[in-house]
Structure 1
Amino acid sequence: MNNSRRINSALLLVATMLLATFHRAALAEPILQWNFDGQSQPGAWTGKYGAATAGPQTPRYPNFSADNQACQFAGHEGAIVVKDHERGGFTNVRFAAGDTLAFEAWLKIKSIGRGHNVYLIGKGRHGKLGEHLGETNQNYAVRLQGTHEEAQLGFLFTSRHPETKKTDWHRWWSTAEVPLTGWHHVAVDYTFGDGASLKAYIDGKPTDGVWDLGGVTDLPPVQDADDLVIGAGYNRAVSQSFQGWMDSIALYREPLDPAEIAERCQYNPPPPPVTREMIPSGKVLVQISEKGVPESNGWPEEPEVTETYVEEVFGLFELPHKYVATGVRGDRANPSHVRASAVVTFPAGKHRLLLRGRGHQGTCFSLLLAGGGLNHQGAYGVTDELSKKMIEHPVSIPDYHATIHAALGIDPYQELFDGSRPVPITDGGKPVDALFS
């Protein structure tokens, strides 16, 4: 009986050890890693050092500590450079045919231009800024490409034919995109020599994509002694350099486990910014946020409400003045975020809602006119796709004011007098006739 118990215990111990060993083996071990936690990191900064800042933290991101730190990259002004092992680097970061390269990082984008190809990591293609090995030696790179509202995840490398030595470019862009606000996780793994092997993930979810330039290939990559650079492109230009924050950057020599990637991307959404209990009956609750509003072209993730007040209606034509501690007026943050909320009961039937975009461009923006005998319905005037340039029916501010005066029955060409000096009330504006016809 005792011998049987010993055997069962031994079998249980062996099974437990095997299970634990298997679990550890399933987790890839990075060959390079940057956590920005105050400890020594691989490589050296060139140009402007990255600034320590708050990274993804619990409770929003439960896999991180409450004081987790990240690094802010200042675009073309600074980057991390890791030397090849033949040039003094402490580990081999080259990949040949049959080798698997895997990369992952948490990132938060500050800004990215449409069509800009921004490097998260890249080895080779540095020309005179690297080891003078030319600019057609892209060993590998993981990048972002700015789109209309978000950013595609990309992979790039140069192949070299083993016999002809001819080189070619191979570029891949994801179908799914990375949002421009908040922290997001990206990951890519690819086995060189196997063109169908590329896998990519955004926030733990797999995404497909499209190869272009030289397309899918089984050819081996260029591999040489050029530098590995984090956060900047081959010539350190603004359009190639990352503006934002990164954390938990890692480079591997083995494929990533999809289940493990999904596990790393846990996120607890914040409580709703407005609840019914917060809104006074029959009133409009207005919240102003001057902290946590991104400069990028997107909505804030979790703006911090810095001021709250109550209005009678939704007609907001200006915000209250801001006063600093000394009692004098101060400037509001730019950009700021305004949220107006009310509990409204709509009667049964068809209703028309007007949606306005966040902010406005300095060269053109939207204004609303209603009532006053206007017959036109819908938008008047057309901008380009970025709302930066008027294409059809531009309306100047004087014309807009003249239209308001005409709608109210006031002659927009009337002149007022400051002493003996005539002052046109609309600064030469003309009513927009199309709004009255």
Structure 2
Amino acid sequence: MPLFFTTKAEQYEEMILQDKPSLYFRFNDVEGTRIPSKVGNFFADIVGKVDLVSPGPLAKYYPYFNSDNKAIRLSGGQQYLRLKDPGSKSVLDFNNGDSITLEAWVNPTSVSTYSYIIGKGRTQNSGMPTNNQNYSLRLTSVKAGRVGISFLFRNKANKEDADWHRWTSSSGFTLGAWHHVAISYTYGDSKSIRGYIDGLPVKGVWDKGGETADEPWTGNDEVWIGSSMGGKQAVTLQGGIDEVAIYRHVVSASRMKMRYKFDAPRFIDNPSKAPAGYVKIDIHEGVSENWNLIASDPVESFREPAFAIPYLPNKYNSKGIIIDRPDVFLLRAQTRVVLPKGQIKLLLRSRTSSRLKINGEKIVSLKKASTSTSAHGKVSKNPKNLGPVTRLLRPGMQEVVVEYQSDGKEVHLLLEAFV
């Protein structure tokens, strides 16, 4: 009797196949300028400079995957995958009474108003109606700087703005790691919508066009992964995409709960790696403004003679042109120093959320300063005079002074701040 052994690293693919998708892309195999689907006998044509060898969720932190799992990564406009619709009433077309489930793993570095994971129609292909969206799964910014999910389709009338129907989740995830996202919906039944982030259901609202029982727009336009609307950068997902699947049925909440397992890496305070005599500063991108930090490698490191950081180094693209950093990134500055023995005062100033640790213990922190531009706020108090060698607090900044009892021995100082 033959025996079959399955390693944990193979579990995710098996899990998906058990749920019988109509389309499933893993992105581990490339055939010339095309990527074959794992299920559905489809080929996705590669458009633009899509990174095809970027690591996806890996076994070290995501135990359902292999250690060499690959994903696609997008870093600008005109980068996406496209696959042709076989024709009318194909497995890629959905109408009233049809159920659809869309799912994927994503690791965005930033999120625009709406970033496409997968969608059918709205490609702006020649000969196709402009707003012919049969379905789409997108990422969007939600409250507290988190990343939510959005489901969008166009009804059959396809004449005015009210013919859009969009459902958006009320909550989301933080940047800095791979996340599983999914929606399920039965066309014609607005109450059937379900959204999932990292295996758990999320609430949401029909925030455009409202609920509807109208038929969706159907047609023979292409399915695109990673972008829409002609490949505009504004709607292209910046970051990684993996494990994209479409089902012609509702995948249950119990099955969705099984999808996500993450052994999150954390920053470890290591005084032995901190320098003495100068401050080493690391910049970490792909984060959200949340102290539940997921560790990542720095994208850039530099040094300063003291804990005063007036400027940050420019960021350049492959052509040597200065480009913007993400809206939020993390700065970690550390050193080893001998503080004078006795009671000393420590001053922390920052515009953003920040904290100072000594030997791994948080000594002082600041929340993000108000960025309101309203003319109805309170007038700021005059800054405190902290002595002749300390500059007065500037508008928009915040500060706090704490006392610390030093034993006169060397300590490890770590400043963390969101920028």
TM range (shorter): 0.5 to 0.7
Correspondence 1:408 to 2:388: yes
Deviation at 1:269, TM superposition (A): 2.3
- CA 1:431–1:254 in 2, change beyond 3 Å: closer, same or farther? closer
Looking at structure 2, the residues matched to 206 and 284 of structure 1 have their Cα atoms a distance apart, in angstroms, of: 50
The answer to whether the Cα contact below 8 Å between 1:62 and 1:266 also exists between their aligned partners in 2 is yes
Q: Which runs of 5+ in 2 are unaligned?
A: 1-13, 37-42, 314-324, 337-345, 355-365, 399-419
* 2:11 corresponding residue in structure 1: none
Looking at structure 2, the residues matched to 125 and 25 of structure 1 have their Cα atoms a distance apart, in angstroms, of: 27
- CA 1:191–1:73 in 2, change beyond 3 Å: closer, same or farther? same
The answer to whether the Cα contact below 8 Å between 2:99 and 2:250 also exists between their aligned partners in 1 is yes
Correspondence 1:383 to 2:371: yes
| Residue deviations 1:340-396 (CA, integer Å, cap 9, x gap) | 599xxxxxxxxx996846699xxxxxxxxxxxxxxxxx99x96347xxxxx9989xx
Picking from 114, 124, 128, the partner of 1:117 is 114
Looking at structure 2, the residues matched to 102 and 226 of structure 1 have their Cα atoms a distance apart, in angstroms, of: 19
- CA 1:357–1:223 in 2, change beyond 3 Å: closer, same or farther? same
Looking at structure 2, the residues matched to 274 and 29 of structure 1 have their Cα atoms a distance apart, in angstroms, of: 45
Correspondence 1:266 to 2:261: yes
SS of 2:229's equivalent in the other structure is coil
Correspondence 1:232 to 2:223: no
TM-score, L = length of structure 2:
0.64
Correspondence 1:92 to 2:83: no
Correspondence 1:181 to 2:176: yes
Looking at structure 2, the residues matched to 353 and 202 of structure 1 have their Cα atoms a distance apart, in angstroms, of: 40
Picking from 304, 308, 311, the partner of 1:317 is 308
Deviation at 1:46, TM superposition (A): 2.2
Looking at structure 2, the residues matched to 61 and 296 of structure 1 have their Cα atoms a distance apart, in angstroms, of: 18
The answer to whether the Cα contact below 8 Å between 1:124 and 1:226 also exists between their aligned partners in 2 is yes
Structure 1: which amino acid aligns with 2:184?
Answer: D
Structure with greater helix share of residues: 1
Deviation at 1:200, TM superposition (A): 0.8
Matched residue count: 330
Looking at structure 1, the residues matched to 216 and 261 of structure 2 have their Cα atoms a distance apart, in angstroms, of: 34
Between 1:70-79 and 1:144-153, the stretch displaced more is 144-153
* 2:147 corresponding residue in structure 1: 151
Structure 2: which amino acid aligns with 1:93?
Answer: L
Picking from 206, 209, 214, the partner of 2:204 is 209
Looking at structure 2, the residues matched to 26 and 431 of structure 1 have their Cα atoms a distance apart, in angstroms, of: 59
Looking at structure 1, the residues matched to 226 and 260 of structure 2 have their Cα atoms a distance apart, in angstroms, of: 22
* 1:328 corresponding residue in structure 2: none
Looking at structure 2, the residues matched to 430 and 185 of structure 1 have their Cα atoms a distance apart, in angstroms, of: 44
The answer to whether the Cα contact below 8 Å between 1:27 and 1:257 also exists between their aligned partners in 2 is no
* 1:375 corresponding residue in structure 2: none
Looking at structure 2, the residues matched to 265 and 25 of structure 1 have their Cα atoms a distance apart, in angstroms, of: 12
The answer to whether the Cα contact below 8 Å between 1:118 and 1:144 also exists between their aligned partners in 2 is yes
The answer to whether the Cα contact below 8 Å between 1:108 and 1:245 also exists between their aligned partners in 2 is yes
Structure 1: which amino acid aligns with 2:100?
Answer: L
Deviation at 1:298, TM superposition (A): 4.2
- CA 1:79–1:25 in 2, change beyond 3 Å: closer, same or farther? closer
Between 1:36-45 and 1:134-143, the stretch displaced more is 36-45
Between 1:181-190 and 1:45-54, the stretch displaced more is 45-54
Structure with greater strand share of residues: 2
- CA 1:161–1:409 in 2, change beyond 3 Å: closer, same or farther? closer
Looking at structure 2, the residues matched to 26 and 430 of structure 1 have their Cα atoms a distance apart, in angstroms, of: 60
Deviation at 1:279, TM superposition (A): 10
* 1:194 corresponding residue in structure 2: 189
The answer to whether the Cα contact below 8 Å between 1:59 and 1:66 also exists between their aligned partners in 2 is yes
Picking from 171, 175, 188, the partner of 2:166 is 171
Structure 2: which amino acid aligns with 1:125?
Answer: R
SS of 1:107's equivalent in the other structure is strand
Structure 2: which amino acid aligns with 1:71?
Answer: I
Within a 5 Å distance, the mapping from 1:337-352 to structure 2 comes to: 337-338=331-332, 340=334
Looking at structure 2, the residues matched to 407 and 165 of structure 1 have their Cα atoms a distance apart, in angstroms, of: 64
Deviation at 1:33, TM superposition (A): 1.7
The answer to whether the Cα contact below 8 Å between 1:289 and 1:303 also exists between their aligned partners in 2 is no
| Residue deviations 1:234-290 (CA, integer Å, cap 9, x gap) | 243222111111111111111112222221201112255137x9799xx99987545
| Residue deviations 1:134-185 (CA, integer Å, cap 9, x gap) | 22321111111224512221001112269x9998211100011132221111
The answer to whether the Cα contact below 8 Å between 1:111 and 1:297 also exists between their aligned partners in 2 is no
* 1:349 corresponding residue in structure 2: none
* 2:101 corresponding residue in structure 1: 102
The answer to whether the Cα contact below 8 Å between 1:284 and 1:340 also exists between their aligned partners in 2 is no
- CA 1:301–1:409 in 2, change beyond 3 Å: closer, same or farther? closer
Counting aligned pairs with the same residue, the percent is 26
TM-score, L = length of structure 1:
0.62
Structure 2: which amino acid aligns with 1:92?
Answer: V
Deviation at 1:58, TM superposition (A): 1.4
Deviation at 1:336, TM superposition (A): 6.6
- CA 1:316–1:165 in 2, change beyond 3 Å: closer, same or farther? closer
* 2:63 corresponding residue in structure 1: 62
The answer to whether the Cα contact below 8 Å between 2:78 and 2:230 also exists between their aligned partners in 1 is no
| CA-based RMSD | 4.9
